[in-house]
């Protein structure tokens, strides 16, 4: 039944000349943006299709745009640095009356970085960050949290809530730090609900010492330029391409690198993926070819241009290739 519905939807799209276009439209994660841009440029150079249009805006915003409806005035692919939750996935497919497929492209780490001329943040833990950022925190100086941290006022630039990086930060930094500090058990006892207790762990202070960045990592980097004592959250690949400007703290004594992310040793890592509106594959020229090209060994493999930029290659890439071959 779903296949018939998808086919019917594709016929409606194809029959609408006002919606006709010949380029692939992509939006979403600022972390995935540079990888998708590399692939889009290479695709335009190597195939007889126009170069895909790749926009940023955040994982959540990209998925929302993809789920707005069927039609060539909507995006085909949503890049995402966080996984689509099951209820969101179901709402999206219901709204579209079409399947949505996930395509994993590799892995990335999340780092906390400072300017090279601001030493002292070399070693941090999720508990340090939680104590500095949770909404009930009264700390204003890093050294008051731990004597090994610098004698500097707390100021942290975080990804805004529309970014997938924020969701990973909440789960792998704030929640872990909250539990290590013993606050999660207190919240659970007071609130009697695990989801509410976690939400309390995730809530960050709003007194100016924690600042949300709605733009991409270049905006965070610019914020560090004008606030020399601050730290910011970045993707590992962005760090690796800006080591002349910033350095990253180790987390629990583990340095962020493609090797430690691949091994799972670095504790703040996540898969990167994009979501495809399947009803658009029959009617958007080159969409299927772009997807297959993206996850090819030549592009997403350990010796490809994405790995050179900082993507941690997916050890199960062959399985993804097999899946997309059936699109």
Q: Residue 282 sits in a domain of what CATH number? A: 3.40.190.10
| H/E segment holding residue 42 | helix 33-46
Domain holding 300, by residue range, is 2-107+272-324
Residues 293 and 216 both lie in one domain: no
User: Residue 250's closest CA among 272, 228, 265?
Assistant: 265
Phi, psi angle pair for 27, to nearest 5° = -145, 165
Residues 41 and 150 both lie in one domain: no
Q: Are 23 and 53 in contact (CB under 8 A)?
A: yes
If you write DSSP's letter for every residue of 281-320 in order, what string do you get? TTTSTTHHHHHHHHTSHHHHSTTSHHHHHT-B--TTHHHH
Q: How far apart are CA 167 and CA 170, in angstroms?
A: 5
Residues 265 and 308 both lie in one domain: no
Residues 40 and 160 both lie in one domain: no
pLDDT (0 to 100) of residue 20: 59
Residues 48 and 137 both lie in one domain: no
If you write DSSP's letter for every residue of 173-238 in order, what string do you get? IIHHHHHHHTHHHHHHHHH--HHHHHHHHHPBP-SSSEEEE-S-HHHHHHHHHH-TT-EEEEEHHH
Residues 89 and 119 both lie in one domain: no
| H/E segment holding residue 54 | strand 53-57
Q: How far apart are CA 217 and CA 32, in angstroms?
A: 11
Q: How far apart are CA 188 and CA 158, in angstroms?
A: 26
Average pLDDT along the chain, 327 residues, taken 10 residues at a time: 38 44 92 96 96 94 94 94 93 94 95 96 96 98 97 97 90 97 97 96 97 94 96 93 96 94 91 96 95 98 93 94 96
Residues 264 and 282 both lie in one domain: no
Q: How far apart are CA 35 and CA 30, in angstroms?
A: 10
pLDDT (0 to 100) of residue 6: 39
Residues 276 and 180 both lie in one domain: no
Residues 129 and 65 both lie in one domain: no
Phi, psi angle pair for 203, to nearest 5° = -70, 125
What is the reported pTM?
Answer: 0.80
Residues 292 and 187 both lie in one domain: no
| H/E segment holding residue 89 | helix 86-96
Domain count, the chain: 2
As a whole number of Å, the end-to-end CA separation of the chain is: 17
Exposure string (b/e) for 16-27, b if CB count within 10 Å is 16 or more?
eeeeeeebbbbb
pLDDT (0 to 100) of residue 8: 40
């Amino acid at each position: 039944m779903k296949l018939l519905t998808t086919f019917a939807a594709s016929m409606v799209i194809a029959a609408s000349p006002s919606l006709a276009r010949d380029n692939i439209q992509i939006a979403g994660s600022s972390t995935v943006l540079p990888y998708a841009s590399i692939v889009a440029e290479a695709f335009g150079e190597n195939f007889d299709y126009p170069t895909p249009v790749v926009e940023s805006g955040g994982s959540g915003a990209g998925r929302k745009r993809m789920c707005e409806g069927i039609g060539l005035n909507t995006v085909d692919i949503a890049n995402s640095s966080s996984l689509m939750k099951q209820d969101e996935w179901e709402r999206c497919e219901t709204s579209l009356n079409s399947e949505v497929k996930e395509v994993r492209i590799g892995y990335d780490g999340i780092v906390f970085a400072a300017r090279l001329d601001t030493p002292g943040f070399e070693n941090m833990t999720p508990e340090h960050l939680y104590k500095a950022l949770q909404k009930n925190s009264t700390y204003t100086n890093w050294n008051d949290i731990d004597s090994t941290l610098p004698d500097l006022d707390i100021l942290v630039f975080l990804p805004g809530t529309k970014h997938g990086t924020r969701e990973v930060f909440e789960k792998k930094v704030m929640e872990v730090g909250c539990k290590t500090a013993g606050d999660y058990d207190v919240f659970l006892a007071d609130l009697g609900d695990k989801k509410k207790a976690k939400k309390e762990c995730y809530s960050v202070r709003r007194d100016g010492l924690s600042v949300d960045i709605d733009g991409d990592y270049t905006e965070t980097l610019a914020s560090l330029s004008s606030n020399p004592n601050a730290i910011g959250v970045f993707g590992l690949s962005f760090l690796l391409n800006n080591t002349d400007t910033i350095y990253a703290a180790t987390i629990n004594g583990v340095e962020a690198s493609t090797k430690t992310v691949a091994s799972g040793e670095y504790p703040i890592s996540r898969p990167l993926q994009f979501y495809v509106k399947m009803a658009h594959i029959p009617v958007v020229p080159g969409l299927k070819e772009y997807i297959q090209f993206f996850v090819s060994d030549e592009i997403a493999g350990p010796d490809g241009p994405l790995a050179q930029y900082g993507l941690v290659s997916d050890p199960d890439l062959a399985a993804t290739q097999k899946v997309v071959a059936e699109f």
